[in-house]
Amino acid sequence: MAFVEYEVKDAVGIITINRPEALNALNSAVLDELSAVIDGVDQNTIRCLILTGAGEKSFVAGADIAEMSSLTKAEGEAFGKKGNDVFRKLETFPIPVIAAVNGFALGGGCEIAMSCDFRICSDNAMFGQPEAGLGITPGFGGTQRLARLIGPGMAKQLLYTARNIKAEEALRLGLVNQVVPQAELMPTVEKMAAGIAQNAPIAVRGCKEAVNKGLDLPMDEAIVVEEKIFGACFETHDQKEGMGAFLEKRKEKTFTNN
């Protein structure tokens, strides 16, 4: 891989977009590599993923404008589909994905961060969808996920004005979950991911599936989705182990995702 690195620390996988000379901007090659890395994650051993960008200046500064500038209508739509396919794969991946946002998360960078389950950012992070100033709309899900995360009114304001916002405003709007000093970003996220990895994978993945599916359904249908996922946990090793440990007052637990 030329632009995407993947490393494993115990049960946590760390994906790093490594194109710092271009502030980790997304071009077709980066998207293809990212898709391949996601496909290659061992879901039997990895229990949480972290997505970040190389360096301290930028998470992902956006899609590669040099590549986009000469696209035709058909090519533009195809490029949008390529990005959306990868981001949707990330969003629906069975394992939780945390975005560790270190610096610029603009355009495609904001969009890929929003495709993760939640976002922790450094105090120098900057978010925005600047596309309207470039004569285009967001093409990797920005108009859809931003409105779902922070509400349509505020999303439209940010989209129409193409204004960038700093970390603290992103926190206030609910775009990110936590802001930490730059030096503490990866230690904070890795500790959080390790904590998630200690819980029963069958339950954590079930929570992700239930939330994702339920968001698109009326409440009466959504709670049925939850009931089925809840019921499926019973008679599993993880349910017996988790409840057994509680009843036996023991801290040690061995979860297997079975």
Distances, alpha carbon 83 to alpha carbons 28, 184, 227, in Å: 8, 30, 33
- 252 an active-site residue? no
Residues in the chain, overall count: 258
4-9/58-60 β-pairing: unpaired
From the list 97, 96, 67, the residue with the least C-alpha distance to 82 is 67
63: DSSP letter: B
Quick one: how far is CA 137 from the chain centroid? Answer: 21
CB 112, CB 26: distance < 8 Å: yes
d(CA 238, CA 107): 40
d(CA 196, CA 225): 23
d(CA 210, CA 232): 12
Q: Which of 77, 131, 184, 235 is catalytic?
A: 131
Q: In one letter, which amino acid is 55?
A: G
- 226 an active-site residue? no
The three-class DSSP label of residue 26 is strand
- For residue 84, give both structure tokens: 């959306």
Q: Which of 111, 168, 241, 252 is catalytic?
A: 111
Report the chain's terminal Cα–Cα distance, integer Å. 32
Residues designated catalytic? 111, 131
